[in-house]
Amino acid sequence: MNDLDKFIKDAVNGDVRAFEQIYKASASFVYNVAWSMLRNEHDAQEATQEVFMKVYKELKNFRFASSFKTWVYRITVNHVLNVRKSQSRYKNHEVMVEDENVIDHISDHKEQNKEDEQEMIMKMLDILDPQQKMCMVLRHLEGLSYQQVAEVTRMNLNTVRTHLKRSRELLIKKFPRKEVIEHEM
């Protein structure tokens, strides 16, 4: 029995410290996926709590059939996409991100601090629809392979590939390299 199996068993029996170890192993994934997709601190924190309360509640039904991480990641993706649906303010998010300067800021590393740069990257991703964005976040921020993204989102492998392709086409179109624009002009 490995550590994780033991933590799961102990947590099912009500050991909060064992559940803390489980939490620590995937909290960064859950919180960062929630934060990137929901784009505000309060919703991200709340989503993270809800995901782990679900994990805690369902832990006794977890049958080790799928890997534990995949199971937690699936709960996360599912929950975050549902919250996102209920966030009405995102309905017109594309209008919000018409900021022409976004990519100039990203290219111009010297003139900004790290935090601004991070925010600019997030603003870039805001132009994508939720499914596309989820694939991009899982691939780039969490480093998941196509196979893993497919498992976690329950999408077909080719659907994942298509989402990534469309996302990148859109991003290049919207935020082309500065020199290219100057060249074309």
Partner 1 sequence: MKCEDMRNLLLTDYLDGELDAERRFQVEVHLKSCYQCKDFFAEVKTQIKNPLDNYEVKKVPDSIWLNIKERIEEQQARAFNISEKINSWLWGWKPALTLALTLIIFVGVFFINNVKISSKAIDKTDTTVYLVDNEEDVAGFGTNIENYFL
Instruction: Provide the binding-site residues for partner 1, judged by CB under 8 A.
Output: 14, 16, 19-20, 23, 27-28, 31-32, 35, 45, 48-49, 52-53, 56, 103, 106-107, 114, 117-118, 121, 124-125, 136, 139-142, 145-146, 161, 164-165, 168-169, 171-172, 175-177, 180
- Comparing CB distances to partner 1, the nearer of 31 and 73 is 31
- Comparing CB distances to partner 1, the nearer of 28 and 101 is 28
Phi, psi of 94 (to 5 degrees): -65, -35
Sequence-distant (6+) residues with CB within 8 A of 41 are 35
Least Cβ distance, residue 133 to partner 1 (angstroms):
11
Least Cβ distance, residue 120 to partner 1 (angstroms):
8
- Comparing CB distances to partner 1, the nearer of 57 and 91 is 57
Half-sphere exposure of 78 (CA within 13 A, CB side): 14
Instruction: Return the structure tokens found at 160.
Output: 């994942």
Cβ–Cβ < 8 Å for 103, 178: yes
Least Cβ distance, residue 115 to partner 1 (angstroms):
10
- Comparing CB distances to partner 1, the nearer of 19 and 71 is 19
Nearest CA to 77 out of 144, 9, 169 is that of: 144
CA pair distance 42, 54, nearest whole angstrom: 18
